[in-house]
């Protein structure tokens, strides 16, 4: 008769709820862009208790409603085609728990899987990874204090961090590459960066 110690991994029952709760990345189950369940890491990342997140729209985790709506529209054709989506973006902490500060923004890597490609927002599984280690996503200090990035600058910055060219960014965001260049130039000035590599490094550093 097998003892617990001698049982092979293949015959050992896996507690999937425990795996979900203690995953090293934030995880969310969603329906129509509303959080229906989340794990401990997500609560820590956004500085919120579970009851502050479950039942809420993902909108509360975005720096602005405009970004929530634009990114939601942008991911639909990608999810339609492959069922999967990934990007880097700025997110906003919701509460002051777990050492976080409500309203603080941070760079986050987000990945998702739509359970129904034809209706990608209907139900999904999403993961969130904090890229900034709780460093604020603001431009370096200037004479008048730290300058916040505009919603469009945040979107362009996220694309720059993924190594995309201005033409590629323009295509993703639905704007001209010349407009992208203007935003890149402003980012370079705000972060006092001489090269794109230096800009990326400073964006990651917060």
- Alpha-carbon distance of 83 to 117, in angstroms, equals 5
What does the pLDDT look like over 99-156, one tens digit per residue?
Answer: 889 999 888 999 999 999 999 999 999 999 998 754 444 444 443 334 478 888 888 8
Q: What pLDDT digit, counting tens, does each position of 35-66 carry?
A: 999 999 999 999 999 999 999 999 999 999 98
Q: What domains can be seen in the chain, in order of their start residue?
A: 15-135 (3.30.450.20), 138-206 (1.10.10.10)
**Angstrom distance (rounded) from CA 171 to CA 145:** 33
The answer to whether 87 and 122 have CB atoms below 8 angstroms apart is no
Q: Is 162 helix (H, G, I), strand (E, B) or coil?
A: coil
d(CA 49, CA 52): 5
pTM over cut 0.75? no
């Amino acid at each position: 008769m097998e003892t617990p110690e001698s049982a092979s991994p293949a015959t050992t029952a896996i507690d999937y709820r425990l795996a979900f709760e203690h995953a090293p990345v934030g995880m969310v189950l969603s329906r129509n862009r509303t959080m229906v369940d989340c794990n401990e890491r997500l609560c820590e990342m956004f500085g919120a208790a579970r009851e502050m997140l479950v039942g809420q729209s993902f909108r509360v985790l975005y720096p602005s409603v405009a970004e929530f709506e634009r990114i939601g529209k942008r991911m639909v054709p990608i999810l339609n085609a492959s069922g999967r989506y990934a990007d880097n973006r700025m997110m906003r902490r919701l509460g002051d728990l777990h050492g976080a500060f409500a309203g603080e923004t941070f760079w986050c890597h987000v990945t998702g899987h739509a359970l129904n490609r034809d209706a990608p927002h209907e139900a999904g599984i999403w993961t969130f990874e904090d890229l900034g280690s709780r460093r604020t996503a603001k431009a370096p200090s200037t004479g008048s204090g730290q300058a916040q990035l505009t919603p469009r600058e945040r979107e362009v910055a996220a694309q720059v961090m993924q190594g995309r060219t201005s033409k590629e960014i323009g295509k993703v965001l639905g704007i001209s590459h010349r407009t992208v260049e203007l935003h890149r130039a402003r980012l370079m000035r705000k972060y006092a960066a001489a090269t794109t590599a230096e800009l990326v490094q400073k964006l990651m550093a917060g």
